[in-house]
A and B are shown apart, each in its own frame.
Chain A
Amino acid sequence: MKFGILINEGPYQHQASDSAYQFAKAALAKGHQIYRVFFYHDGVNNANRLTEPPQDDRNVTQQWSQLAAEHGIDLVVCVAAALRRGIKDEILAPRFRISGLGQLVETGIQADRLVVFGD
């Protein structure tokens, strides 16, 4: 099955991004595809490569970058939500890209299921 994922909350404050990551890994392990992960609202903060959690904690941003590199997942950050929050190309972590909300609607159209992680 082709899954789309929408993440509406930022890292650490909220577990949404962690749950989405675990979901994506489990889906891939079962042979499913992740069509795209779309980051909206405070979810755009997941793309900030300046994020630096303590050594003994997981690095949410790096986890996404690595998973995307391993499986060729499209990580898209909403441009309007990103600009509001100071997320720009120069601080994007590897494999993330900034694009429009149309990419979220298109994910809904193309994927078999759109799974939303948020509050």
Chain B
Amino acid sequence: MSADDGAEAANERTERNVKRFLFVNRKAPYGTIYALEALEVVLISAAFDQDVTLVFLDDGVCQLKKGQQTKETGMKNFSPTYRALEGYDIEKLYVEKESLEHRGLTADDLLVPVKVLTTEEIGALMDQQDIVISF
């Protein structure tokens, strides 16, 4: 699914007051609150019927790791929420290939279906957005 969908689609977005929001998730799921609060913004943006895309890179790829267990640390395990995104029509999830590889992960280790892109491809994806918010 490419965000570069031509002039006609761009005009339609302008008429409907829809912008392309890209949320860049770069931090580990626990240790700081960025990932959890980023997810709250993502859910609100869906309520505003915006064109929402998520990218996970650096330690952010760990947010999607299967089998998170937080009980012993007293932190809330919010990872099931990523699986609920589909229900909010948020289906464009991209993960950076290099970030996965550096951490010994593959797409099979993740709890939702994603598209794996190279750093360069993610750069091109960012170019196509109206709003880029990095957490």
Query: Taking beta carbons and an 8 Å cutoff, which residues of A are in contact with B?
Result: 6, 8, 40-41, 80-81, 100-102, 104-106, 108-109, 114, 116, 118-119
Contacts and interface: CB of A to CB of B under 8 A. Distances in A.
Instruction: Name B's interface SS.
Output: mixed
A102 B134 CA distance: 17
A6 B133 CA distance: 9
Contacts, number: 46
B44 A102 contact: yes
B128 interface: no
B40 A102 contact: no
Contacts of B135: 8, 118
Contacts of A41: 33-34, 37
Interface string B26-69: 00000001100100110011011010000000000000000000
Contacts of A101: 40-41, 44
Nearest to B47: A102
A108 to B, nearest CB: 4
Given A109-B19, A118-B134, A100 B34 contact: no
B124 interface: no
B47 to A, nearest CB: 7
Nearest to A8: B135
